[in-house]
Structure 1
């Protein structure tokens, strides 16, 4: 496609696409096309000017060549991406805001006063009626105060003040609605499904296929720890399904043949065969958006307190107005209190601050499922790390296979991959990837596979029982033995690797050596977390004591626990909370989900198991642990902003009341300063708190 390079500097290009008009859809397609190209670190597309700003690494000629080959019709955009981009929503609210401002000042300056006053009187009916309805419910809340201030201004014939109050209230409502909708849409979009592969059930087998190839009526297999990819009906199997992503309830429900299941929920125990009823992701998105919009999850404790405080202050404002009039018999001084209240600013600034922080976290690839979790992160003093996939890299690899029964190492690896490919864990993926690299074909050779969380896998191959898993599972639970004469080999297995054991007919067949190196930034992250308010860092792992101790000393954690089970992690979190500590849990596996649920804030690494991401309150989609520190800093800054806003609102509005009662400023001036300050606080609360990327 033709384009013009308008600006070129190292790491940044600004181009103009040669077309008369760029639609919202075209802008989103171009943005997706650019962001899906690896050298592009970030991109922005401006539909009104048909411009694109591209930040990149490497050679700019590669970017330019890619743009030359760009055609809208050739780009395959993921299902639902265009419908949920938010571009059209932002443009709509921007136009509404501009139209409201232009209309207000055009009416004020161009229309004759009688017509302008008549219009203001007509518009006041909406606010007055809302206040009356609130009173009929036996409540004296913010709508009553708004109705009273507007009504009194109208009765006094001061239509300019009434018009100004309604204009500023309208701007505040529009900004809050815009920020709220955008935050909800961003969060729902991030929580929407991104399932690449699914197991398709055929007459004789299970085949791993692309999710795009699934049609209505197909049967798909969903195993433990796996996300349910489509709405459907269970036709076989039994499982406990976690529906937290749709209902907000973390208690799993039992699902058997005939029950309906929904996309985005996760199998905690058992397995299901599901007949697909809905292949589109739109139903999932709409359910999430509705759940978020109606849920109290979006509200932190401070938000709730601000709203309740705002409503509780209304009777005092009205009482102060009446008392001032009775004492002074001066309507102007009484109106000085009525025109100024704390509630508008409190109700606007607090939720806008929180929702903006959620949006800002999303820009850093951090999904926060509610304001209260940001507050929990800000208050947290203890952080618990699972080792595998968090402190260590999310992509462990197979370093080698040690045979104990004389079978060829490749054959043993093929068997292990055949078992492990059904289950979502970083170690399982390492085994499957190792077999793939060696071109080892591992077609189904086993009966039904049973997965025991945090232990291993058990099945039957022919007439032989095959198990694969941890030392605890293979040797202590299953009582497997080491072949005669191989004890020395077993004792001398390299200590620098984690070990995955494969046993056939209760005898050790192979030890698979897993290289799971620490993230380079792990030690630095622990130190930085302590500098931003975390006083206790804990590591928990299923590894043996020797391995756990070495890693703990290298990383610099305060405490570590080895050979722990899922219930041990959750119990530790509960003990810390009972001791009065605020706890963050960070994990990525199926075995971390109980602790993630128990923590004040559960954080999942996005490369981990689906159930961890669904159960967690926060998901981090990043290549390093730096975003954990970023999240903590953002949460701290949010709390500071909220407290700073609170102090300013109380101080500034108290000053206006004092000046008004003293007769220094008129009620119209008080109203203007009050509403302007409310608007400015709202706009300031929408600003990013973290420095630019």
Structure 2
């Protein structure tokens, strides 16, 4: 397609597409196409002018080539655009705002007084109806106050004031709805599926397949800790499924043969084969949006407090209005009280502040499932870290393999990889990756695989029982033994590595030593968390004490616990909460799920197990632990903004009431200043919490 470069500076280019009118869908296609070009950092497409502003780095050659070969049909076939983008939503509310302002301006400038009067009466019906409805239900709410203000203005014949009040209320409604829907859409997108491949059961074997190749009628296998990627019916096995993301149920639901399962839910325990019915996931996004909109999780304590306070203040405002009239017999002074209320700003600015903070979090690769969790992070004084995949990198590697009983190293690795590839954990991934690097093929040749949370895996190979997992699992639970005469070799295993024990027929066959390097930023991030007001940083791990002690000393945690089970982590957090502490739990594995549920706020790493992401209240990207510091800063800044909003709303509106009753300003002016302050504080609440300098750091 023909393009023209309108402006170019170093690393920055503005181009114009000669394509006539550009639709919203075409603008999204162009934007996501350019984002996929190597070296492109940021893209903004303006559909009205058919322009694109591109920020890029390094060589511009690939960008010019991509623009020269671009066509909407070709780019659309690449399927780069998500099912839901914010462009259409933003345009809808931009148009609503512009239309509302223009309509008001046109009426003021061109309509004669009788027509403005009729319009005011017609538009007032909505507010009067809502006020009457609230009274009939026994509620003295903000709707009653709005209806009273509008009605008194109409009765006095002050139609301009009535129109101004309704205009400001309408602007507030549009901004609140826009911010809420945008935040919900961002949150729903962050909660969307992140499943690339699934296990397809065909001809009695399992094959790892891209999810895009799965068709209705195919059978897929889902095991403990896995997310169910597609809608369908269970045809084999049974599992306990966590459906919180779909239904809000706190307890897992048992699914057996004939039960229907939904995309996005998670197998908490068990294994099942699902016959796929809807290859595209069956509208999971829409179900998430509905769940979020209905969920009380969106409301923080501060929001609830603001909402309750707003309604509680309504009777006082009405009482003050009546008292002013009784004392002064002056309708103008009475209206000065009625035209100014605290509740409108309280109810509008607080939810906007919280939802905007959640939206800003997503820009920092942090997905927050509700405002109350940011409040909990702001109030937290204790943080508990799982070690593997959290304080250490999510991509550990196999450092060495020690075999026993004259077993062959490559064969033991091949067997271990065959078992481990079924379960999402960083150490399992390391085993699979090592086998791949060595060119070891490990097609399925075992029978049913069973996973024991936080312990290991059990299966049968060529009639022999094979298990792989922790020392506690293989030696204590399963009673496996070390081959006679090889105890010295076992005792000499290097303590600096994490160990996976592979046993065949109850005898140790190999120990896979995993190098789990510490994140380079871990020590500084923990230091920064302490500086942000976290008093107690704890590390808990299932690893041996020597390894845990070395890591704890290096990163600078206040306490550490080694060789712990999932229930130990949860019990520790429960005890901390009973002592009055607010606890953050950070983890990434299936074994972290009980602790994530028990914590005041659970934080999962987004590359971890699906069940951990599902149960967690907040998800952060795996790239940098400093995102936890950013989360703390955002949360504390949010609470500071909410408290500032409280002080401003009460102080400013009280001042307006006093000077109005004193006759210094007219009720019309009071209404204008009140509504302008409400709009102003709402717009301020939509701005970013962190300054540019903090973002760059």
SS in 1 for 2:283: helix
**Which residues in structure 2 correspond to 1:661-672 (within 5 Å)?**
661-672=661-672
- Cα distance, 1:216 vs structure 2: 1.1
> 1:491-537 CA deviation, whole Å, 9 max, x = no partner?
22222221111111111111112111011000000010111121111
TM-score normalised per structure 2: 0.97
Aligned to 1:537: 537
SS in 2 for 1:316: helix
**Which residues in structure 2 correspond to 1:487-636 (within 5 Å)?**
487-636=487-636
Aligned to 1:48: 48
Aligned to 1:107: 107
* Kept in 2: contact 1:80–1:281 (CA 8 A): no
Aligned to 1:286: 286
* Kept in 1: contact 2:193–2:229 (CA 8 A): yes
Aligned to 2:309: 309
Residues 48-57 or 553-562, more deviating? 48-57
Q: Distance in 2 between matches of 1:490 and 1:4?
A: 70
**Which residues in structure 2 correspond to 1:160-171 (within 5 Å)?**
160-171=160-171
SS in 2 for 1:227: coil
CA RMSD of aligned residues (A): 1.6
Q: 1:197 to 1:409 in 2, by over 3 A?
A: same
Aligned to 2:195: 195
- Cα distance, 1:686 vs structure 2: 0.8
* Kept in 2: contact 1:365–1:622 (CA 8 A): no
SS in 2 for 1:459: strand
Q: Distance in 2 between matches of 1:65 and 1:286?
A: 38
Q: 1:83 to 1:461 in 2, by over 3 A?
A: closer
- Cα distance, 1:258 vs structure 2: 1.1
Q: Distance in 1 between matches of 2:76 and 2:166?
A: 47
- Cα distance, 1:622 vs structure 2: 4.4
SS in 2 for 1:254: strand
**Which residues in structure 2 correspond to 1:172-211 (within 5 Å)?**
172-211=172-211
Q: 1:483 to 1:85 in 2, by over 3 A?
A: same
Aligned to 2:439: 439
- Cα distance, 1:600 vs structure 2: 1.0
> 1:559-594 CA deviation, whole Å, 9 max, x = no partner?
111011110111111111111011111000000011
Aligned to 1:355: 355
* Kept in 1: contact 2:37–2:62 (CA 8 A): no
Q: Distance in 2 between matches of 1:430 and 1:66?
A: 37
**Which residues in structure 2 correspond to 1:210-359 (within 5 Å)?**
210-359=210-359
Residues 634-643 or 56-65, more deviating? 56-65
- Cα distance, 1:399 vs structure 2: 1.8
* Kept in 1: contact 2:425–2:609 (CA 8 A): yes
Aligned to 2:390: 390
Aligned to 1:159: 159
Aligned to 1:60: 60
Residues 181-190 or 143-152, more deviating? 181-190
List alignment gaps of at least 5 residues for structure 2: none
- Cα distance, 1:282 vs structure 2: 4.9
Q: Distance in 1 between matches of 2:478 and 2:39?
A: 49
* Kept in 1: contact 2:231–2:282 (CA 8 A): no
- Cα distance, 1:2 vs structure 2: 3.8
Aligned to 1:142: 142
Asked if 1:367 is matched to 2:367, the reply is yes
Q: Distance in 1 between matches of 2:294 and 2:237?
A: 33
- Cα distance, 1:238 vs structure 2: 1.2
TM-score normalised per structure 1: 0.97
* Kept in 1: contact 2:496–2:546 (CA 8 A): no
- Cα distance, 1:291 vs structure 2: 0.5
* Kept in 2: contact 1:198–1:208 (CA 8 A): yes
